[in-house]
Amino acid sequence: MIKLQNIDKLKQSESAFGFIGFASDEGVRRNKGRAGASLAPDEIRKHLAKLPYNLNRNMETIDYGNVICEDDQLEKAQEELGKKVYSLLLHHKTPIILGGGHETFYGHYLGVREYFSADKTIGIVNIDAHFDLRSDKLPSSGTMFRQILEQDVKAGYLCLGIQEFGNTRSLFQAAKDFGCQYVLEEDINLNNIQNTYEKIDEFIKKYDSIIMTLCTDSIISSAAPGVSAPSPLGLDPKIVKRLLKYIAAKKNTISFDISEVNPNVDENDKTVRLAAYLVAETMKSFSLKEKLAMI
């Protein structure tokens, strides 16, 4: 059962999920992508509501509504999202953020960093076809990881699903310069997924907390046509599901966002439905972790 609640009236809870939507595609527009991701939070909710609530019954799910990016005020909206993520963490909620363009993640990060003291390390795990390390003067859906790494020496970055022909040489060089770790899309499949798990484990153990983000353009376009930048050579959704569940089950993974779903260009809600299932599967891994912690 999902409850609706005003985030300004948060109460302490032993364990609960907190949904926040980020209704923005301003970052996608700035990045010259296909607009429409601002519609995704409510569309994903509709399909989540149709799924059985097969989660740990000791964990409530509370919906705190949407942060809306008005006009071109992206930075203001990201700051607002950060405040709401911070408030959820402060009250022992697990943030589940429904984007929005991938600019969603910068607001997600702001809230997590505000919650932790400056000496705490934060590991970012991004499932994505693109590094999003662009050096554009204007922040967009392609700049946020560079923004974070330039300002936060205690942050690290692992990207899973990178496509060689989805990133320029300068972006690969930027990833090297920033000390980023990554796994190419072509090196991740169901037969050797254990190799990817080992790289995830090696990365995660270095950080106090892990925040996870999924850019749905990492998924093959036959399964996810409704994204801002579709790819015919993306990851199989079953692989993405397994990666999400594996990362969410780690004890220091604290939050999750999904981004770049674009209902305007979807085919019979195929991508929105997939997004809802992936969110539910991720939540299940979080809830099982909480259940084990209570034993």
159 is in an annotated binding site: no
108 is in an annotated binding site: no
Cα–Cα distance for residue pair 87/57, rounded to 1 Å: 23
269 is in an annotated binding site: no
Cα–Cα distance for residue pair 40/63, rounded to 1 Å: 15
Is residue 100 reached through a cis peptide bond, with omega within 30 degrees of 0 on the bond before it? yes
Cα–Cα distance for residue pair 234/255, rounded to 1 Å: 24
In terms of Cβ atoms closer than 10 Å to its own Cβ (0-12, 13-18, 19+), residue 281 is middle
Helices (H) and strands (E) counted in the chain, each on its own, are 9, 9
217 is in an annotated binding site: yes
Cα–Cα distance for residue pair 221/183, rounded to 1 Å: 20
Cα–Cα distance for residue pair 45/273, rounded to 1 Å: 10
Strand, coil or helix: 67: strand
Query: Phi and psi at residue 213, in whole multiples of 5°?
Result: -140, 140
236 is in an annotated binding site: no
| Size (the chain), residues | 295
Q: Rg of the chain over CA atoms, in angstroms?
A: 17
Cα–Cα distance for residue pair 196/173, rounded to 1 Å: 22
Residue stretches of the annotated binding site for Mn(2+):
102, 128, 130, 132, 215, 217
Residue stretches of the annotated binding site:
102, 128, 130, 132, 215, 217
